[in-house]
Amino acid sequence: MRLDGKAALITGGNSGIGLATARVFVEQGAKVAITGRDQATLDEAVASLGPNALAFRADIMDAAANEAAIRAAGEAFGHLDIVVANAGIAGGTPVGGTSAEQFGRILTTNVTGVFLTVQAAAPYLRQGASVVLIGSVHAVLGMPGYAAYAASKGAVSSLGRVLASELATAGVRVNVVVPGATRTPIWSRFGRGPNALAEMEPAMVRAVPSGRISEVAEIANTILFLASDDATNITAAEIVVDGGLTGAPSGAPIYRG
């Protein structure tokens, strides 16, 4: 098993990409601590993940609570080999219709929360540990109406490079996985309704060379690779998992005859 005996922390491990990653990690022999806000889905996740999973409820917007949850995970396992700073929110912030509070909430969750998560975990990270941050193709798409989300994910990529150099002295690797559109509950949050992804998907995939969005397992397996000893000399890297959307846009169905 690729993570035999390793101890992992995954923020936002009760939904979507984080939950799929927790599942793959447990299957590969890791002990996993997950965080999130919603106690019911934290409980369901732990029940389905089995005896090698623990949950700690904390809102990342509450820096002290988030730090306490991460310390609790570190103390429960004695150390951490893997941190996946995955918790994040999306949401529109169009010019002319956005309050400081709305803009700040996205940046605090997706940027400050990621930094403070890694900072709180750092004392528990052993030589050879792996930190994985979750960016987004929004960082480079320039999609109208998403200034805060795009800026937050551009910042995650920048954070990844700084943290990779800063934690190199401790023998800790830091990398960023950059997903394109992926099938998770994020699409139906923020009042978009339960069918939001189904409604957008047909148009969206016309811009993707692979002709489809990603499934959570495809992102989780990429995180697994970076977390595992298959990636022991990979740090400060980004792996884009977007079906070619950003790297080869001319190959998209929309441009085919």
Residues within the interface to ligand NDP (CB under 6 A): 12, 14-18, 36-38, 41, 59-61, 86-90, 109, 134, 136, 179, 181-182, 184-186, 189
Closest CA to 182 of 253, 92, 242: 242
The set of catalytic residues is 149
Distance of CA 120 to the CA centre of its chain: 17
* 80: amino acid identity, one letter: L
How many contiguous H segments (helices) and E segments (strands) does the chain have?
9, 7
Cβ closer to ligand NDP: 98 or 157? 157
Minimum CB distance to ligand NDP, residue 31 (Å): 19
Bridge partners of 241? 179
Cβ closer to ligand NDP: 212 or 256? 212
Minimum CB distance to ligand NDP, residue 131 (Å): 14
Instruction: Yes or no: say if 53 and 74 are a contact pair by the CB < 8 Å rule.
Output: no
Closest CA to 18 of 102, 46, 199: 46
Cβ closer to ligand NDP: 4 or 101? 101
Cβ closer to ligand NDP: 86 or 228? 86
Minimum CB distance to ligand NDP, residue 44 (Å): 11
Minimum CB distance to ligand NDP, residue 171 (Å): 26
Which residue, chain included where needed, has tokens 């052993």? 126
Residue 139 in tokens: 């960082």
Cα(82)–Cα(172) distance, rounded to whole angstroms?
A: 9
Minimum CB distance to ligand NDP, residue 168 (Å): 24
Side-chain half-sphere CA neighbours of 101 within 13 A: 0
Cβ closer to ligand NDP: 11 or 171? 11
Distance of CA 251 to the CA centre of its chain: 27
